[in-house]
Each structure stands twice: as C-alpha cells, then as structure tokens.
Chains A and B, each alone.
Chain A
Amino acid sequence: MVDLEIWIALLLGLMTLSAAILVLLVKNHIAAVAAASVVSLGLALLFVLMRAPDVAMTEAAVGAGLSSLILALAVKRLGLWRIDGKTTRSSLLVTNTRREKDA
C-alpha cells in the first residue's frame, strides 16, 4: 500500500516538476499556459494523495480551470496568440542552435 503510494507520488512529482520547467523553457506562450495548467493538475492529484480532498477540488477547479482560462484570455489580449508559425514549426532546429529571446 505504502509502496504503491511512493510510486504514484514519484510519477506525479516528476510530471509536475517537468511541466514547471517546461513553463519557463517553451517558446510558445499558449503552450506555457497549458504547461502551467498541467502543474496545477499534478498538484491536485498530489493533494488527493495527501488526504486533502477539499484542497484538491479547489486546486482542480481554480488552478487547472479558471486560472488557465484567465491566462489564456491574457495571452489573447496581450497579442501573443500564435498557434503556428515559423518559430514553432522549426523548434527542433532552434533548440539545436541558440535559443533566441522570447517574443
């Protein structure tokens, strides 16, 4: 039982941390908002593991839902909304060479 918990916690922790790093590294701003939402989702599942169902529910509704909605609206209003384009299509090439400054 405890062994299973450790494995689940390890998986969720790795998911949360890698999504958090991705928020800072990925170039597309919409992808960054989506990664921030993944951080909240992993955190909500960790809260369930910590026997905090109330907090998990709040985090899932507020952090993964409403907060990403606000951030996505902000991306749209700030004029950073680019789904595809030169920068995202050739992202593999760009990471090999030098990453240019954020848009």
Chain B
Amino acid sequence: MIPGFTLELILYSTALGLVSIGLAGLVLSHHLFRIVLALVIAEAGANLMLVLAGYRWDAVAPILTTLGEQPQMVDPVPQAMVLTAIVIGVGIQALAVSILIRIRQRYHTLDRNEVAELMDAEIAATAGTARDVSQEAPLGERPIPPITDDAVQVRGGRS
C-alpha cells in the first residue's frame, strides 16, 4: 500500500472534488441544462461530505441486531439528514427543469447570455423604460446627490 494514501484522504477528496467540479461547471457553462447538471453534482458531493461527518472506525451500520450489549455504530443523525436532503434535491431538480422548459418555449434558446439579454429587453419593454446596456457603464450621467448641511450636522462631521 502506498503510504500517505489513507481512506480519509480518498473520501474527502472525492466529496470535495465533486463540490468543486459542480461549482466549476456552474461558473463555466453557457448552457442552462449543463448548469442544472452541475448543480446536481455539487449537491451529491455535499451529501457525501455530510455522511462522512458521522463515520466511525470499526463500526457497524445503525441497525440493531441483538438485544443487550451493542457494538459500536456510525452516527445515525447525519444519515437521516442526508436521506431527506436527497429527496428534496430531486424535487428542486424537477422544478428547475420545468422552468427551463418554459424558458425554451418563450425565448427559443438556452444559452445563458442570450436568455439574459432577451429577458432584460422584455422587462425594459414591459416597464416602458430604456434598458441598461451594460452594467459597468450606465446610460447617462448619474450625479451623486450633494450632501446637505443638515445631514452633515447629524453625522457629526465638519463642525
């Protein structure tokens, strides 16, 4: 056996690797369906991490087999938590998928940037305002409101 290659290291790197891959996919993907898949992967990694928190060396599964003297068992509380988390996860996933179906029916594209553009334009058209083209350079000047003397007095500056 290779030294330094413990069960601990393997399991932790699997769990955290899944979380990191999921987050990387969340940041890097352009396609909305891939983003949902990345979310599924990140959730799986978080579930594994929770189960690892209750692991105990040389223990048995939390099921009683004899009355009286019991062997050591792994912690059942994180397992119960993960049990409900998995089922909630699939509900959230179905909700995300149905939202994607609606987006596709409305905008006929699933690219993240294109959907954001179209949605922005539609919101602006409905509200009857000019839309901000870019986040960094806003349309027109936005002057900073001058500080009145009252406000200065209240804040306790400039005697």
Contacts and interface: CB of A to CB of B under 8 A. Distances in A.
Asked if A and B touch directly (CB within 8 angstroms), the answer is yes
B7 A9 contact: yes
Interface in B6-62: 6-7, 10-11, 13-14, 17-18, 21-22, 24-25, 28-31, 33-34, 36-38, 40-41, 44, 47-48, 51-52, 55, 59-62
B17 A43 contact: no
Is chain B's binding surface mostly helix, strand, loop or mixed? helix
Is chain A's binding surface mostly helix, strand, loop or mixed? helix
Interface residues of A, number: 47
Contacts of A80: 33
B144 interface: no
A78 B104 contact: yes
A21 B59 CA distance: 33
Interface residues of B, number: 52
A49 to B, nearest CB: 8
B14 A13 contact: yes
Given A6-B7, A24-B29, A58 B83 contact: yes
8 contacts: A13-B14, A24-B29, A32-B34, A39-B44, A51-B60, A55-B83, A71-B36, A74-B97
